[in-house]
């Protein structure tokens, strides 16, 4: 009988270096090129089993007992590696950590066994009130100490390191004493967490705050970056909003290429949260990301799921 060789409940998709600029090889935990899993595409994914390396799921959408979405989630998990991405950790808030949230998150982690877990370097509310937005922090020593202490608590509770993502921002604080990228580096180095670098968010914030996005890329510790996000935005001329309702824009693709030159092979995925198109259109964007990486860093040979005979 023929069985698919499964690793962590997901078909093994491995990469080996065929040729690359300066012999750049992918890291051992390189997942390849993925997509954010959305309910609109559940059935299409199961029916067509697209040639995709992995999926990212929004943690909060599945932190429930049972139900149809969980059924689809576990069925798709059997086919693909997954990572979990949250929006409610509120690591920068002055409210106590929400332990009920963390307990539910840990249950889902144990169910899915994701490759990693991520959330945002931000706060989402205070005084038990959720703003339903990702809000920036002042970049100073007081905030640094506060965030690192909370990251340490979260990682100890979950029993694994987390990734934190840079957000798109529209305000700054007079109390900031350092750049966002310096602050981010210090959080990652001191707490032991890793970085999810959202390329679109860098572009959006750079436009809004008039800094050079290349400075952000050059300022981030290249040994801490484990994942890239790519997404669309809405450009209003004088400012830009991170809306996730358009295809990735040309300037973001260009910045992605610069990020590849800086960081090398990094697991990369496409986010789309509104005006969601057919699955095939998003798969084409994933292929664009793959092709840009291959053109920039060299070709990788993809070894798809292996079969063993017993």
Report pLDDT digits (tens) over 135-156: 999 999 999 999 999 999 999 9
What is the extent of the structural domain holding 282? 9-309
pLDDT confidence band for 19 (50 / 70 / 90): very low
In-domain check, residue 33: yes
pLDDT at position 306 is: 33
In-domain check, residue 169: yes
What does the pLDDT look like over 256-299, one tens digit per residue?
999 999 999 999 999 999 999 999 999 999 999 999 999 999 87
DSSP classification of residue 62: G
Calculate mean pLDDT across residues 190-208: 98
Q: What's the whole-number average pLDDT of the chain?
A: 90
In-domain check, residue 1: no
| CATH number, residue 50 | 3.20.20.150
pLDDT confidence band for 18 (50 / 70 / 90): very low
Local structure of 83: helix, strand or coil: strand
pLDDT confidence band for 309 (50 / 70 / 90): very low
In-domain check, residue 224: yes
pLDDT at position 91 is: 97
In-domain check, residue 3: no
Question: In the chain, how many domains are there?
Answer: 1
In-domain check, residue 146: yes
In-domain check, residue 265: yes
* Positions of E strands within 154-290: 163-165, 194-198, 225-230, 234-235, 240-241, 267-270
pLDDT at position 21 is: 44
Decide if pLDDT at 119 tops 50. yes
In-domain check, residue 172: yes
Q: Which two tokens stand for residue 129?
A: 């009130």
Q: What is the pTM (predicted TM-score) of this model?
A: 0.90
Contact between 75 and 10 (Cβ < 8 Å): no
Flag the least confident range among 9-13, 19-23, 68-72. Answer: 9-13
pLDDT at position 288 is: 98
């Amino acid at each position: 009988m023929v069985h698919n060789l499964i690793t962590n409940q997901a078909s093994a998709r491995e990469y080996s270096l065929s040729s690359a600029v300066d012999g750049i090889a992918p890291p051992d935990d390189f997942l390849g090129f993925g997509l954010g899993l959305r309910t609109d595409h559940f059935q299409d994914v199961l029916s067509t089993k697209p040639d995709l390396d992995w999926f990212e799921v929004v943690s909060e959408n599945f932190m429930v007992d049972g139900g149809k979405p969980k059924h689809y989630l576990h069925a798709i998990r059997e086919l693909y590696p997954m990572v979990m991405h949250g929006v409610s950790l509120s690591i920068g808030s002055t409210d106590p950590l929400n332990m009920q949230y963390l307990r539910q998150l840990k249950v889902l982690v144990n169910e899915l066994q994701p490759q990693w877990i991520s959330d945002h370097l931000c706060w989402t509310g205070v005084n038990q009130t959720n703003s339903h937005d990702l809000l920036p922090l002042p970049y100073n020593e007081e905030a640094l100490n506060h965030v690192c202490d909370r990251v340490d608590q979260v990682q100890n509770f979950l029993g694994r390191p987390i990734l934190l993502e840079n957000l798109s921002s529209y305000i700054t604080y007079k109390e900031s004493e350092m750049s966002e990228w310096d602050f981010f580096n210090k959080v990652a180095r001191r707490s032991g967490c890793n970085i999810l670098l959202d390329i679109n968010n860098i572009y959006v914030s750079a436009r809004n705050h008039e800094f050079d996005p290349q400075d952000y890329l050059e300022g981030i510790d290249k040994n801490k970056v484990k994942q890239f996000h790519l997404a669309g935005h809405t450009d209003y001329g004088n400012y830009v909003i991170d809306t996730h309702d358009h295809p990735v824009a040309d300037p973001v693709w260009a910045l992605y290429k610069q990020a590849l030159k800086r960081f090398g092979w990094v697991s990369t995925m496409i986010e789309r949260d509104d005006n969601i198109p057919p699955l095939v259109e998003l798969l084409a964007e994933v292929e664009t990301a793959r092709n840009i990486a291959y053109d920039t860093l060299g070709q990788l040979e993809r070894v798809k799921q292996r079969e063993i005979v017993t």
